[in-house]
Structure 1
Amino acid sequence: MPVYSNFSDEELTVLLKQEDQIAFTEIYNRYWAEMYYHTFRMLRDEDSSKDVVQDVFSTLWLKSASLNVSTKLSGHLYISVRNKVLNLVAQNKVRNDYLSSVAAFITESTNDASVFDEQQILDLVEAEIQKLPPRMKEIFELSRKDNLSHKEIAKKLNISDQTVKKQVQNALKIIKNRLPMVESGIFVLIFLR
């Protein structure tokens, strides 16, 4: 049996494209710590860094048959890690901006007796989301709860971007029409992004 630790990255890449599990294990053992260190330097969070590296290696294995590495394997892994980190940072920024907006709105409107408290509003909205048709509900939750883009949802569900966009718009329209007591300002803060 060959000793995989003696193989070059190029040889391991060829074997990986043939879905050789031992080659994948060697690549994982060879580069995990280096990719983790690189990710941790950017994120400064142990759990998030481990998640990013795990995701990169999972994708590498799942897409190994169609792998097209025109650069060195290490370069491919560095680029994959960087892209995952940038996506994570962007998602967290959207989430943090959203939470800041909701907090600011609630703080500004605490003197208004006609405004529901945050939990009441979220409970009402969640109840309406649960009443949506199953496919629309799935698309809406992927968009608003999992923070996936229309393109990511379309790819995940094997449908067009336009279908995703239309389903999200319809869901928003349905929920807004069913909750007329929720002021339009807070509706915008919660759902539109």
Structure 2
Amino acid sequence: MRPLINQNEKELVRSLRQGDMKAFDELYYRYLPKLLGFAYNYLSDEMEAEETVQVIFIKIWEVRNTLDENRNFKSYLFQSVKNQLLNKLRNQKRNCTIEDIPEMYCVSTENVFEKITYKELEDTAAELIKHLPKAQQKVFVLNKIDGLSPEEIAIRLSLSKRTVEHHIYLATKFLKGELIHKTSLYGPLLLLFF
């Protein structure tokens, strides 16, 4: 049985200030389980949690003569552990290198660039489609956006298949020319869109 188990926190801190190792041990064993649980919550690693708590108790021993017995020692301990954890996490972030990042969290810059470029292309094309003559616009939208074949469009609009194909050709030629003229970034994606 621990000899100072019945002493209150204030008495233990007063004794600790005078260098009483038994008072230190009592405070250590009294708060160790909760502090370890607290640290483990942040780190999810028992060894790291234990090391963090040990560092705090070493610091407390080193500054024992400056401790305020009227201050809530338990709160002081938890705040010290929290600050130590934050410092540890901050230092880990500073030491993090690109090689430490798991592949699954890496974003391909090519993929992001493609998505942005494709979205810009899509917006520009949508705006250009509005400038097509009404018949070409209708045929082009039915074919390229709604996915209807020239035969289906011809039936739907009461036009010949040849006329529908001609409208698609003229609209596509106009849009490709305008898009290529507006920017060279869209070049590779034009093949995907048309």
TM-score w.r.t. length of structure 1: 0.49
Larger CA Rg, structure 1 vs 2: 2
In the superposition, the TM-score normalised over structure 2's length comes to: 0.48
